[in-house]
Structure 1
């Protein structure tokens, strides 16, 4: 797929665009959580300023929520990066007249490679671009109204609309050309046929022979499903993804495998055994940048579907968990998944039952781990001390300290307390108390 970098020749550079340099995000730390690659953020910050880049990233989050990009892109980080790249491109154009840079277009191209296998259409691209123009126009008029003298608001707004329409024409031409080329390559590949057949099995369209013979994989066996992906969403060597999947399935004792690429940085995998269920994966792939989500072993076509559904839920849960974690096993995450469908309610639950112990500081974390070990061993001080590698007196001191902070005995309502501790340990910061909440 060729990379095209163009400028908009008919932009009126005599117009005053200095007011756009005053764009600032409401959240001054927004760039730390940007979905775009750091090199893209740095490049655009140098060109148009961190304030304008931060404003674009913040507005793209709003667009992400309004439009719901997750479905066509599947991957949360990739789904967020799409509206972010679009808004960054629009703001770049408004400030400089350039709709894209090579780094920015590379980000968009990578998104297209993810989206094409998931059935994204040109019409969806156009709808997303048009929504962007509509939303940005309203946002820019509101910004101009707050910051410019009354005699400059209308000319500035008209110029912004003119520039955005010119940007829309140029970017549409670039993206449609690249999209068409990528889609043609995908449709011609054998991967498309296998992916299409597997999706038909997963959604229940196909559930019997002889169609399933084309998979070359016996669905009547005991299966375990994996999802492997690159943590940064970047394109990966397909053979490296395959080798990682095979390594994990071999560790699980699988004698047959089914591997399906769902994008340049993502792989669905199944492994099976004839007489007994595969083992759960014990470690992440050797490749540091890869992550893996695993479902529970299950049998037959129903098990093939259910194990994959569980792996997909574990992958979704990975967005809330520490970035250094690399293996996400549904068997370890079923309780947090049950409680985190509504993250605000899960956080309220943790704060309500842990109280002062819900602080994210190290001292509170130490008390939580001690209480959790103490309760898991049925209030056995010796067993808890052995697990934590501390003295028994240390466990007793921490237990008394926790009871003082909670203002109650650990013998009371320990089930809810254990659930809250498990959520705090598994999910971490998103369900712990902020400084304002304490």
Structure 2
């Protein structure tokens, strides 16, 4: 462990000033840490919105933990961060067989955080002696904190491996992962090992929570409600992480999302993303991948959006795999409307979806027709070009904004 030296009173004051600025900074300030961490992640991690969200929460939690400790006592040793965010991502990676990536992600986050802190440090003083001491003290603090946190998380990883070896979860997750990846597993053999018939029609779902430490009972209750809405057959449930279940239900019954929404009234922290119904092993796989796409967009919407189907988001999912280009398309197509009041965009989107009928738009939005007309006039004034001849592009841009939000709002 590096030799620990407490900072001089002047440098302690500079540290406190710097971390106060970090804690008050907008969320976008930390996007560069997320970008670097996620850019170096395994493709299996990037494909799962739950893991990506957990990485973002962990980055914020670690930086906030370190900053708050230095606000209380600048330059003092910082205890490891073993809160629900950091323990949750460790458990999730072990359950997916990706735990070897845990230490790498912490080191990547450490390096990105250090670059952010160095940029802050150079704004605090121009005195070379003060700057040298400031960087030495905080480098020692950050690197020692990350080392201690990694050691604590490593213990959690080892415990989680023991738990997995003692149950059937690891086997189910392994088989499901192979099926989703398209491995050539015989259908009957996989069905027997999962205790779930793969020769039927399936609807895949991701039952998840945005909380770092959700109520597992609530997640399981939502999965059972999903099975009831699909006709009552026994579902296949796989624990995909601390905050998500992968679920498949089979049968010929159409699954009514409104029934699910009613069931979730008693489970306020749970959300469900649904894939389309499809048959056989390929349907099992395809429905799950589409449910993941649905979850990716559902997580970007406000928490009152509780259930979404792939039919709801299919066009947007296809149009937003490159989100930067999708947002550029939105801004070109909508102009100032892209950042205007949300009710203007929602009114124009509904108007186009209702065949440009103002009366039906008013009925759908439960708003007086005169108010609808005023909003439509204002929305069209904000468009960079007339709506006529551009309805399809404008409708798509509005739908993208509905799910992704305006630039910088996610």
**Aligned runs of 1:284-433 on 2, under 5 Å?**
284=261, 285=264, 286-361=266-341, 365-366=343-344, 368-389=345-366, 399=376, 402-403=379-380, 406=383, 410-430=387-407
Among residues 12, 15, 20, which one is paired with 1:20 in the alignment? 15
Indicate if the aligned counterparts of 1:370 and 1:399 stay in contact, CA closer than 8 A: yes
Higher mean alpha-carbon deviation, 147-156 vs 251-260, is at 147-156
CA separation of 1:135/1:322 partners in 2, compared to 1, >3 Å: closer, same or farther? closer
Q: Secondary structure at the match of 1:350?
A: helix
Give the aligned length. 395
Higher mean alpha-carbon deviation, 259-268 vs 293-302, is at 259-268
CA separation of 1:272/1:215 partners in 2, compared to 1, >3 Å: closer, same or farther? same
Deviation at 1:195, TM superposition (A): 1.2
1:224 correspondence with 2:203? yes
Deviation at 1:295, TM superposition (A): 0.5
2:172 is aligned to 194
Deviation at 1:376, TM superposition (A): 3.4
CA separation of 1:409/1:182 partners in 2, compared to 1, >3 Å: closer, same or farther? closer
List alignment gaps of at least 5 residues for structure 1.
1-7, 35-54, 433-438
Q: What is the distance in 2 between the residues matched to 1:382 and 1:165?
A: 62
Deviation at 1:228, TM superposition (A): 0.6
Q: What is the distance in 2 between the residues matched to 1:369 and 1:403?
A: 13
CA separation of 1:160/1:371 partners in 2, compared to 1, >3 Å: closer, same or farther? closer
Higher mean alpha-carbon deviation, 333-342 vs 394-403, is at 394-403
CA separation of 1:400/1:219 partners in 2, compared to 1, >3 Å: closer, same or farther? same
Q: What is the distance in 1 between the residues matched to 2:4 and 2:43?
A: 33
Larger Rg: 1
Deviation at 1:361, TM superposition (A): 1.7
Among residues 187, 192, 215, which one is paired with 1:236 in the alignment? 215
Q: Secondary structure at the match of 2:74?
A: helix
Q: Which TM-score applies when normalising by structure 1?
A: 0.76
CA separation of 1:148/1:289 partners in 2, compared to 1, >3 Å: closer, same or farther? same
Among residues 59, 67, 73, which one is paired with 1:83 in the alignment? 59
**Aligned runs of 1:115-154 on 2, under 5 Å?**
115-121=93-99, 123-136=100-113, 140=117, 143-146=120-123, 147-154=125-132
Q: CA RMSD in A?
A: 3.5
1:281 is aligned to 257
Q: Which TM-score applies when normalising by structure 2?
A: 0.81
Q: Secondary structure at the match of 1:429?
A: coil
Deviation at 1:304, TM superposition (A): 0.6
Deviation string for 1:219-267 (max 9, x for gaps)? 1101101101122131423x43222111122112252411111123210
Higher mean alpha-carbon deviation, 189-198 vs 75-84, is at 75-84
Indicate if the aligned counterparts of 2:33 and 2:112 stay in contact, CA closer than 8 A: no
Deviation string for 1:88-111 (max 9, x for gaps)? 45554793533326x754432232
Q: Secondary structure at the match of 2:223?
A: helix
Q: Secondary structure at the match of 2:389?
A: coil
1:41 is aligned to none
Structure number with the bigger relative contact order (C-alpha 8 A, sep ≥ 6) is 2
List alignment gaps of at least 5 residues for structure 2.
none
Q: What is the distance in 2 between the residues matched to 1:344 and 1:11?
A: 44
Q: What is the distance in 2 between the residues matched to 1:160 and 1:347?
A: 38
